[in-house]
Amino acid sequence: MFDLIVIGAGSGGLAAAKRAASAGKSVALIENDSIGGTCVTYGCVPKKLWHAISQFRHQATIATHHGWSFNAPNFNWAAVQSRLSDYVTSLNQRHEQKCLDLGIQITRGTARIASSTSIEVNGDIIQGQRILITVGGKAVRLPIPGGDLCDTSYEFFSWPHLPPSVVIWGGGYIAIELASILNALGATVDLVIRQDKILRGFDEDLRQFLQDRYADRGIRIHDKTTIASVKKAANQLTVTCENGTVITTEKVIQAVGRVPCTDSLNCDEVGIQTTQNGAIIINEQYQTSVPSIFALGDCIDQVQLTPVAIAQAREWVDLVLVNKKFPVDYTLIPTAVFSHPEAATIGKTEAEAKATLKNVSVKTLKFNPMTMALTEQHKEPIFMKLILEGDDEKVVGIHLSCDGAAEIIQSLAIAMQKGITKDDLDLTMALHPSIMEELVTIY
Ligand code: NDP
């Protein structure tokens, strides 16, 4: 009998399996796809590379204002796709090797929980004192007429060529990131969102700012509507929206959220309670309604972010297997949308702060960075917003949109974690000329 069976080798499952094995526990890891999960194989890693790859076209345009000239640049989708796929495979293999080096037993297959201490995979039974479910999530596919003609982010990563036109359905992280990548590579992009603005849940001004930047870059946003049907004729798809808009396109991507991947686990039979969308219900120790079975990461449907799943895994292993406390603070989670320009944020939005705190003040800045001074039409303004609370003006939110915003917010997260105030910013020596000197001289 193993000390621990981990079902799902994504960010949370791998972190838990490796930490438990490093602490001397015997671990069985079950996975029905590549080792690394969504983040490594179909999410963060290939997305971030596509984000970087796609920047060049815009940078090349800016460069022409800086004296450079290019012969028509040519982008080879197939070549980069193949290099990227090799890189992802190498990461999958690296994760697998690390597990093997730690003595983790890896079984390929789909696990079905057979009892409170056993699972069945490929017809075999594996027993463990504890079972940890880290099966992650999968893309929602809305059942509209022609829904089967649509792709999701999963298929995007293996498209054989860059389509000339793409309709993206949804206004969340995935929709916004894919829209930006495809637009930057030269595809015509139509975004269909049911709200009036993209990125519900982000600060209202940041949402508007980014939406305006998207429009500037030629992304067509069809707001306050949704897709009613998709039809195929020859090699084209015809998308009809509920407001009557008709769009002809080569590809449609549904990016309308993700749901926990728990269907095949046999939760009902073994008494693991789930919510209506299949999320596993847990207590504060990540324990399900079956005491020896635990769950964390995207399949509990709380915060669907890789660093959060990893932190939960470390916290859980230390708490339950090592009997030690791994302190994690989930109140300040930095997050970024890898769009062009990037949008990154930490802490409360203005609306959240005003609804939950007293004496809130807000400082907002929009400006053109010096590096864009020589360009004519291609201005890239920067958005910066500080949310302050109380007489000592504690910083409770920072919202930023500019190239490199994710890196900047990660650094500011350390200061936020330490509870900085506006005074601390005022006392910080500016670095000139830089974008972020504006943050420490804002008044
Ligand atoms: P999100 O929840 O971010 O966005 C889903 C989008 O689909 C929203 O715009 C939502 O609209 C819309 N939608 C949902 N249901 C319907 C419907 N029935 N009809 C029309 N529109 C609908 O999900 P994503 O799939 O984009 O991403 C999943 C999660 O993955 C994210 O929440 C995030 O946690 C994580 N992620 C993180 C990334 C990062 O850190 N950079 C990158 C990618 C993903 P509405 O707002 O009205 O609900």
CATH number of the domain residue 362 falls in: 3.30.390.30
d(CA 144, CA 141): 9
> pLDDT value at position 68?
95
* CB of 255 sitting under 6 A from ligand 1: yes
Cα 195 to averaged position of ligand 1 atoms, centre (Å): 12
> pLDDT value at position 129?
98
Domain count, the chain: 3
Which residue did the predictor score with more confidence, 440 or 325? 440
> pLDDT value at position 266?
97
Do 242 and 268 share a domain, yes or no?
no
Average pLDDT in the chain: 96
> pLDDT value at position 344?
98
Cα 184 to averaged position of ligand 1 atoms, centre (Å): 21
Nearest CA residue ID for atom 22, ligand 1: 256
Atom number, ligand 1, closest to the C-alpha of residue 174: 26
Nearest CA among 335, 336, 319 for reference residue 327: 319
Do 28 and 134 share a domain, yes or no?
yes
Atom number, ligand 1, closest to the C-alpha of residue 336: 41
The answer, yes or no, to whether residue 235 has pLDDT greater than 90, is: no
Q: Which of 47, 173, 226, 261 to mutate to test the pocket of ligand 1 (most atoms within 8 A of CB)?
A: 173
Q: Residue type at 71? A: N
The active-site residue, picked from 65, 95, 399, 432, is 432
d(CA 222, CA 405): 26
* CB of 260 sitting under 6 A from ligand 1: no
* CB of 336 sitting under 6 A from ligand 1: yes
Cα 140 to averaged position of ligand 1 atoms, centre (Å): 10
Answer yes or no: pTM beyond 0.85.
yes
- pLDDT band for position 281 (50/70/90)? very high
pLDDT in tens, 330-364: 999 999 999 999 999 999 999 999 999 999 999 99
List the beta bridge partners of residue 106: 29
> pLDDT value at position 220?
98
The answer, yes or no, to whether residue 325 has pLDDT greater than 90, is: no
* CB of 305 sitting under 6 A from ligand 1: yes
**Considering the domain boundaries, does residue 415 fall inside one?**
yes
Cα 170 to averaged position of ligand 1 atoms, centre (Å): 7
Nearest CA residue ID for atom 15, ligand 1: 256
The answer, yes or no, to whether residue 195 has pLDDT greater than 90, is: yes
- pLDDT band for position 442 (50/70/90)? very high
* CB of 51 sitting under 6 A from ligand 1: no
Cα 277 to averaged position of ligand 1 atoms, centre (Å): 15
> pLDDT value at position 282?
98
Do 88 and 176 share a domain, yes or no?
no
The answer, yes or no, to whether residue 378 has pLDDT greater than 80, is: no
Nearest CA among 108, 116, 140 for reference residue 8: 108
Compute the average pLDDT of residues 302-318: 97
Q: Please enumerate in sequence order all residues whose Cβ is within 8 A of that of 40, keeping only pairs 6 or more positions apart, or say none.
A: 10, 11, 34, 88, 91, 92, 95
> pLDDT value at position 163?
97
CATH number at residue 312: 3.50.50.60
Do 133 and 281 share a domain, yes or no?
yes
Q: Residue type at 306? A: T
d(CA 198, CA 221): 9
* CB of 297 sitting under 6 A from ligand 1: no
d(CA 95, CA 264): 25
pLDDT in tens, 74-119: 899 999 999 999 999 999 999 999 999 999 999 999 999 999 999 9
> pLDDT value at position 396?
98
- pLDDT over 90 percentage in the chain: 94
Do 121 and 206 share a domain, yes or no?
no
Do 239 and 381 share a domain, yes or no?
no
**Considering the domain boundaries, does residue 334 fall inside one?**
no
Atom number, ligand 1, closest to the C-alpha of residue 306: 40
Do 268 and 123 share a domain, yes or no?
yes
Q: Between the CA of residue 264 and those of 71, 111, 296, what are the distances in Å?
A: 53, 8, 17
Do 349 and 280 share a domain, yes or no?
no
> What does the DSSP assignment read for 16-35?
HHHHHHHTT--EEEEESS-T
Q: Residue type at 52? A: A
**Considering the domain boundaries, does residue 213 fall inside one?**
yes
CA 14 from centroid of its chain's CA atoms: 18
**Considering the domain boundaries, does residue 177 fall inside one?**
yes
**Considering the domain boundaries, does residue 109 fall inside one?**
yes
> pLDDT value at position 283?
96
Nearest CA residue ID for atom 3, ligand 1: 172
**Considering the domain boundaries, does residue 326 fall inside one?**
no
Nearest CA residue ID for atom 13, ligand 1: 256
**Residue ending a domain, choose from 256, 278, 310:** 256
Compute the average pLDDT of residues 393-408: 98
Do 187 and 225 share a domain, yes or no?
yes
Q: Which of 258, 346, 407 to mutate to test the pocket of ligand 1 (most atoms within 8 A of CB)?
A: 258
d(CA 281, CA 80): 41
Nearest CA residue ID for atom 34, ligand 1: 304
**Considering the domain boundaries, does residue 332 fall inside one?**
no
The answer, yes or no, to whether residue 150 has pLDDT greater than 90, is: yes
Do 313 and 350 share a domain, yes or no?
no
Listed range (64-73, 175-184, 210-219) with the worst mean pLDDT: 64-73
Domain of residue 169: give its range: 147-256
Q: Which of 226, 242, 256, 335 to mutate to test the pocket of ligand 1 (most atoms within 8 A of CB)?
A: 256
Nearest CA residue ID for atom 38, ligand 1: 173
Compute the average pLDDT of residues 284-292: 97
List the beta bridge partners of residue 29: 6, 106
The answer, yes or no, to whether residue 441 has pLDDT greater than 80, is: yes
> pLDDT value at position 376?
76
Cα 12 to averaged position of ligand 1 atoms, centre (Å): 20
d(CA 401, CA 382): 6
What is the three-class DSSP state of 157?
coil
Cα 154 to averaged position of ligand 1 atoms, centre (Å): 14
Do 190 and 228 share a domain, yes or no?
yes
> pLDDT value at position 65?
92
- pLDDT band for position 194 (50/70/90)? very high
**Gap between the terminal Cα atoms of the chain:** 63
Identify the H or E element spanning 116.
Answer: none
Cα angle 286, 31, 276; round to 5: 50
d(CA 102, CA 239): 50
Based on the residue annotation, tell me whether 432 is a catalytic residue of this protein.
yes
- pLDDT band for position 71 (50/70/90)? confident
217 token code pair:
């870059």
* CB of 142 sitting under 6 A from ligand 1: yes
Do 315 and 356 share a domain, yes or no?
no
**Residue ending a domain, choose from 206, 233, 256:** 256
**Considering the domain boundaries, does residue 329 fall inside one?**
no
**Residue ending a domain, choose from 199, 224, 256:** 256
> pLDDT value at position 326?
82
> pLDDT value at position 379?
79
CB 9 within 8 A of CB 95: yes
